[in-house]
Amino acid sequence: MTNTESFENVVLELRRGVIVLAVLSQLSDEQYGYSLQKLLSDQGLEVDQGTLYPLLRRLEAQGLLESVWKLEEARPRRYYVISAEGKKLLPKLKKEWAAIVSVMNKMLA
Amino acid sequence: MKLINRYVTEVGKRLPLVKGRKDIENELRSTLEDMLEDRAQKSDKPADEAMEVDLLKEYGSPQKVAETYNPTPYLIGPRMFPKFIIILKIVIAAVTLGMTIVMAIQVVTLSPMTGMELLKVIGEGLLNIVSTSIAAFGNIALVFALIERFAPASEFKLDEDEKWDPTSLMKEPEPEDIKAWEQILAIVFTFIVISIFNFNPQIIGLNYMTGNEWKVIPILSEAFFRWLPLMNIAWVAEILLNGMLLRAGKWQISSRLFSIAIKVFQIVIGYFLLTGPAIITVTAESLKAIEGFDAEAAQILGTMAQQGTQGIIALVMFRIAIDIIKSVVKMFRQKTSM
């Protein structure tokens, strides 16, 4: 494995860990897949569709999201929104995240 | 939009047969249409085929997209894989050893033979080892794949995760502790013994040549096979005992008692074998019946074979009796240390 590959793999692992939190945090208002991807991208987090869509399905299967099909501009779109269970989990995840950031900031200072 | 529709169909074909497949297709179609519309707006011209081609190229091959939805990418998952390798090694080693012993018995009983005959026996033996190992590999992989499919390790906590306690590293290994591989090997070998005596007893035969023809006399007599059901009970009980030991990970009072019961039963079988009719067919008379066999030699060999067999049975019974005494002593020590 080359150095570039190792670097890319580590970055991928780091990002994979934060995507769930990012997605849950952005779905207090309902979004469809593509609009969510743009919303994340506009804030600086690029997420590949191949990662985002299966993740949305998984989070829905876990009961953290809910989804509904809506017909808009003659196009059916699947809208996702955070569920009651997801809302309970989100503050705990935010706290965990803050702790991780604080520890890592100290460690890397 | 024609290309997008075809692309979605291609992805759909490659999706696992799960609930919500149609949903995935619809969502993918609506996303691609949104993306295409976005591109058209940005470039200030209506969407065309070239734009569709670019978009789909960036989105990736239908195979790659379908793979991202695949929930079971493993045949045998990473948590079960080390166990798979351990069992595979033990079984392949047991099969190789067992088949090599069978091959060696054939070489000894068929001797003397020409170089070509020897090569044939060895060649067939090696082929047997290879084909049986491949079959064993297939069967074990199938069992593990079924476990992975219907009871994946990722969905349950393995017992050892919960029970494992670092303080277990501090104590000296106890004599009551058993080694799992010994029990697994014992089970595999007992299976081999059961299958030979019950299904392939012709392996145990005396081969000799008269003229240009090989003849085989079965060594074990009808009287032996009369006791086979009792021996089967003892072997199955041994397998159960080894299974118990594997589960518990050490000797317990119950397994000691069970083991002693099996050994007593084996001594009873030994007594029947010893006092009943001859269990092997090699007698002075049967040897004399062989064409060209010297009468005096037949008398000596026949008597040796009969008395030798009885001697071996008596020795084995003696050994089992000593084992029983050892087990009783260990059981009492274990009881007092508890």
Question: Could you write out the DSSP letters of every residue in B146-184?
Answer: HHHHHS-GGGS--HHHHH--GGGGTSPPPTTB--HHHHH
Residue B16, chain A, CB below 8 Å: the answer is: no
What pLDDT score does B294 carry? 77
Cα B142 to chain centroid, rounded:
12
Residue A66, chain B, CB below 8 Å: the answer is: no
Is B30–A53 a contact, with Cβ atoms under 8 angstroms apart?
A: no
| CB within 8 Å of B305: residues ≥ 6 apart | B280, B282, B283
Task: Check whether B50 has a pLDDT greater than 60.
Answer: yes
What pLDDT score does B251 carry? 85
Q: Residue A77 region, left (φ>0) first, then alpha (ψ -120 to 50), else beta?
A: beta
Is A76–B65 a contact, with Cβ atoms under 8 angstroms apart?
A: no
- Percent of residues in chain B assigned helix, strand, coil, to nearest 5: 75, 5, 20
What pLDDT score does B28 carry? 92
Q: How far apart are CA B99 and CA A60, in angstroms?
A: 54
Residue B27, chain A, CB below 8 Å: the answer is: yes
Q: How far apart are CA B271 and CA B263, in angstroms?
A: 12
**Shortest CA distance from A38: residue in chain B:** B35
Residue A51, chain B, CB below 8 Å: the answer is: yes
Q: pLDDT tier at B336 (50, 70, 90 boundaries)?
A: low
Best CA proximity match to A59, nearest among A35, A38, A31: A31
Residue B20, chain A, CB below 8 Å: the answer is: yes
Q: pLDDT tier at B163 (50, 70, 90 boundaries)?
A: low
Task: Check whether B209 has a pLDDT greater than 90.
Answer: no
Distance in Å, alpha carbon of A29 to nearest chain B alpha carbon = 19
Count how many pairs of residues, chain A against chain B, have C-beta atoms within 8 Å.
Answer: 38
Is A75–B33 a contact, with Cβ atoms under 8 angstroms apart?
A: yes
Residue B72, chain A, CB below 8 Å: the answer is: no
Q: Domain residue spans in chain B? A: 2-67, 73-152, 175-182+201-338
Is A54–B68 a contact, with Cβ atoms under 8 angstroms apart?
A: yes
What pLDDT score does B95 carry? 80
Entry field: residues in chain B: 338
Percent of chain B with pLDDT over 70: 85
Residue B25, chain A, CB below 8 Å: the answer is: no
Q: What is the mean pLDDT of chain A?
A: 91
Q: pLDDT for B60-79, tens place per residue?
A: 999 888 888 876 667 888 87
Q: How far apart are CA B195 and CA B191, in angstroms?
A: 6
Range of lowest pLDDT (A39-53, B100-114, B251-265, B292-306): B100-114
What pLDDT score does A66 carry? 95
Task: Check whether A19 has a pLDDT greater than 90.
Answer: yes
Encoding tokens for residue B39?
């591109």
* A-chain residues near B30 (CB < 8 A): 32, 34, 75-78
* B-chain residues near A33 (CB < 8 A): 27, 31
Task: Check whether B337 has a pLDDT greater than 70.
Answer: no
* A-chain residues near B155 (CB < 8 A): none
Is A50–B65 a contact, with Cβ atoms under 8 angstroms apart?
A: yes
- Taking residues B237-260, what's their average pLDDT? 86
Highest mean pLDDT, choosing among A63-67, B308-312, B320-324: A63-67
What pLDDT score does B103 carry? 80
* A-chain residues near B60 (CB < 8 A): 50
Q: pLDDT for A46-84, tens place per residue?
A: 998 888 998 999 899 899 999 999 987 778 899 999 999
Task: Check whether B122 has a pLDDT greater than 80.
Answer: yes
- Taking residues B161-185, what's their average pLDDT? 69
ipTM: 0.84
- Taking residues A87-92, what's their average pLDDT? 96
- Taking residues B282-303, what's their average pLDDT? 78
Residue B23, chain A, CB below 8 Å: the answer is: yes
CA trace torsion B199, B204, B208, B210 (10° rounding) = -30
Range of lowest pLDDT (B14-18, B206-210, B274-278): B206-210
Task: Check whether B155 has a pLDDT greater than 60.
Answer: no
The 8 Å CB, 24+ separation contacts for B155-163 are: B158/B79
Distance in Å, alpha carbon of A28 to nearest chain B alpha carbon = 20
**Shortest CA distance from B67: residue in chain A:** A50
- Identity of residue B53: V
- Taking residues B133-153, what's their average pLDDT? 78
Q: pLDDT tier at B162 (50, 70, 90 boundaries)?
A: low
Encoding tokens for residue B313?
């049975």
What pLDDT score does B306 carry? 85
Is B68–A76 a contact, with Cβ atoms under 8 angstroms apart?
A: no
Best CA proximity match to B192, nearest among B132, B139, B261: B132
Q: pLDDT for A24-47, tens place per residue?
A: 999 999 999 999 999 999 999 999
The domains located in chain A, with CATH, are: 3-108 (1.10.10.10)
Distance in Å, alpha carbon of B205 to nearest chain A alpha carbon = 59
Task: Check whether A85 has a pLDDT greater than 60.
Answer: yes
Is B27–A33 a contact, with Cβ atoms under 8 angstroms apart?
A: yes
Q: What is the mean pLDDT of chain B?
A: 81
Best CA proximity match to A52, nearest among B8, B23, B27, B41: B27
